[in-house]
Amino acid sequence: EPPAPEAIVDAFEAVLGPITTYRPSHPKGICASGHFVATPDGARHSVAPVFDGQRVEAIIRFGVAGASPRASDVARSTRSLAIRFETSQGDQWDMANISAPIFGARTPEMLVAGLLARRPGPNGQPDAEAVRRFVESNPESTRQGRWLAAVTPPASWATTPYWGVDAFRFKGAEGQERLVRWVFEPVAGTQRLSEEEMRARGTDFLAEEIRRRVAQGPVEFDMVLQFAQPGDDATDPTVAWPDDRPRATVGRLTVTAVEAGAGGPCDGISFMNLDMEPGVAFSDDPTLHARAAPYAVSLSRRTR
């Protein structure tokens, strides 16, 4: 039995304190808007309305991982791209993507155990021994951190790929069904901070940078599917599939406006990774199945 949605959110609160106002994950961020248009390949690979090639409105949130709305923009953590698609027929599809191809927990149980191991004690610090024991018995939980340690952070929210991480099943126009993972590839190219820039840029430059950039012209991402080959594990989000898997570009996301300040329509949205039947279905990844319900619980706690 996976942990109940409330128990999952309680575990975040055990580490962060009660959730008020801010989301417990990627609390720092800004809201933006734009649109998405599928390619003909997108329509071929999925019968979901988002991929019909019509213009789909998008509410977009760029975020920074961590526990605090004052998290540092130069931290070697993930940045995020969350999207709510709204088709002209009234269909809605939410997703949250991160700037790493892998997640820090293989299952919801592991996520909760990792959080609880990091609960602060009476001195305000986690029990180092509890953390050590957790890491020792859950080595998969260290993979994302090692991936992030090997690269410097993105120079801009516009210059990193964002991976959906969890696998989905795309159901196409000819009835075919394929296991995929997706990545939003920056049309501007991938650009990371140099070690020197990491020292010089300060901890709070991403929001102004993206506002300036979008004021000069749209920021774009190509949504690219990666197709599983026999033997690829679609249930373990701590392991990436090899880079040479076949790919297809299924659409382009265009960011055309960024909120001038904090807040905006994103505050009332929990970007749950949802399916979009009949064209996009869940895989058997246990973290995927465990996401929507606690996201809703979290939203209700931070907006009560």
**Choices 24-32, 133-141, 184-192, 213-221 (CB under 6 A): range interacting with ligand HEM:** 24-32
Binding segment for ligand HEM (CB under 6 A), chosen from 146-154, 221-229, 255-263, 295-303, is 295-303
* Residue from 26, 35, 45, 289 carrying the catalytic annotation: 26
> CA 157 to CA 171: how far, in whole Å?
31
Q: Which stretch binds ligand HEM (CB under 6 A): 117-125, 150-158, 203-211, 290-298?
A: 290-298
- Min dist CB 167 to ligand HEM, Å, is 11
In this structure, the number of other CB atoms found within 10 A of the CB of residue 225 comes to 24
Residue 35 bears catalytic tag: no
Binding mask 101-120 for ligand HEM (x = CB under 6 A): --x----x--x---------
Contact flag: residue 82 with ligand HEM (CB under 6 A): yes
Q: At what angle do helices 128-137 and 108-117 cross, to 10 degrees?
A: 160
Smallest distance, ligand HEM to C-beta of residue 160, A: 13
Report the nearest approach of ligand HEM to the CB of residue 137 (Å): 18
Which long-range CB contacts under 8 A does 208-215 form with residues at least 24 apart?
Answer: 209/156, 209/157, 210/30, 210/32, 210/62, 210/156, 210/157, 210/158, 210/258, 211/258, 211/260, 213/156, 213/158, 214/32, 214/255, 214/256, 214/257, 214/258
- Choose between 52 and 166: whose C-beta lies nearer to ligand HEM: 166
Of residues 33, 46, 77, 80, which one binds ligand HEM by CB under 6 A? 80
Beta bridge partners of 30: 62
State yes or no: residue 74 binds ligand HEM (CB under 6 A): no
Report the nearest approach of ligand HEM to the CB of residue 89 (Å): 25
Strands (E), 127-176: 162-163, 168-171
Q: Is 63 in the site for ligand HEM (CB under 6 A)?
A: yes
Based on DSSP, count helices (H) and strands (E) in the chain, helices before strands: 9, 10
Other Cβ atoms less than 10 A from the Cβ of 293: the count is 17
CB count within 10 Å of CB 304 equals 7
Give the C-alpha separation, 23 to 71, whole Å.
13
Binding site for ligand HEM (CB under 6 A): 8-9, 23-26, 29, 61, 63, 80, 82, 96-98, 103, 108, 111, 164-166, 237, 270-271, 287, 290-291, 294-295, 298-299, 302
- Catalytic positions are 26
